[in-house]
Amino acid sequence: MAIIRKQPKRGFWTRLRRLPRAWIGIALVLVVIAAAIFAPLVTGIDPLTQFRDGLSATGTPLPPDARFLLGTDHLGRDMFSRMLYGARISLLISLTVNISAAIIGTAVGLVAGYYAGILDNLLMRVTDILLAFPAILLALGFGAVLRPSIPTVIIILVFITWAPLARLVRAQVLTVRERPFIESARAIGCRDRYILVRQILPQIITVVVVWGTLSFASTILVESSLSFLGVGVPLPTASWGNMIAEGQTRYRIAPWTIIAPTIGIIVTTLGFNLLGDALRDALDPRTKYKV
């Protein structure tokens, strides 16, 4: 008599580590985070320091060498140091924005999806208005009115980021609230607050986690775009966007002033996109037999 062995269920970590893009994404993200955290130890140079010998005899930036690993910019500042401190700014802004937007978007989506009716219509119409405008144009409009600063950039990005998540969470809540265990909770007299926080939220938290990881990449891109256009992180604070803006007028004689921050943006966004995509597949039970 043949013995049938039951195949063990693959858990989240088992599915995640079977995805090559997860390892690549984690590696890229960890490199960027480590570079940002340990920037003072890695470079030991203030990103605002203008070296007297940081420019050539004709006043042009110096190319990469043993002393200046990524060369210098038009003011004789070390590009490598500015790259690392620029990573700090980008990650700090993205982390603050995505945590704030996740809280707002999740709360709005939970309330709108659970209660429906007039409250749902009101919240979703506000969300639709925000989604009707291209995010970058909306951000530029606010950036042109408000004084450029890091807090201003954070407020602008939170304002344009929470709406897509609210719509996504609402769609999930509309499905979850009709399940039998929610009906049972209502039948035994559980309060709405308990049902929302203890019953529904755990069912949709994976969606929020995946959204947050993928949103990191888009947030960094929008922040860099705003800084490039002069309505984001103000100079002389190092930001990848304003570094590209400063280097664009000298790209023929000093292409490294544009290439370095561009590579930083590409590596960071690629890492978070790969990690977010892998998390989505690992957290989705429907893909457990495909990985």
Does residue 11 register a pLDDT over 90?
Answer: no
Mean of pLDDT values over 221-241: 87
Helix, strand, or coil here: 46? coil
CA distances from 266 to 88, 106, 219, 234, 273 (A): 15, 29, 13, 22, 10
Task: Give residue 289's pLDDT band: very low, low, confident or very high (50, 70, 90).
Answer: very low
> Is the pLDDT higher at 116 or at 98?
98
Does residue 73 register a pLDDT over 60?
Answer: yes
- How far apart are alpha carbons 156 and 256 in whole angstroms? 30
Position 263 scores a pLDDT of: 93
Residues of the chain with pLDDT > 90: what percent? 26
Helix, strand, or coil here: 23? helix
* Contact call for residues 156 and 96 (beta carbons, < 8 A): no
Task: Give residue 288's pLDDT band: very low, low, confident or very high (50, 70, 90).
Answer: very low
Mean of pLDDT values over 9-37: 84
* Contact call for residues 70 and 256 (beta carbons, < 8 A): yes
Does residue 102 register a pLDDT over 90?
Answer: yes
Instruction: Count the Cβ atoms, other than its own, within 10 Å of residue 250.
Output: 15
Measured in degrees and rounded to the nearest 5, phi and psi for residue 212 equal -60, -40
Helix, strand, or coil here: 78? strand
- How far apart are alpha carbons 192 and 113 in whole angstroms? 12
Which residues on adjacent β-strands are paired with residue 55?
61
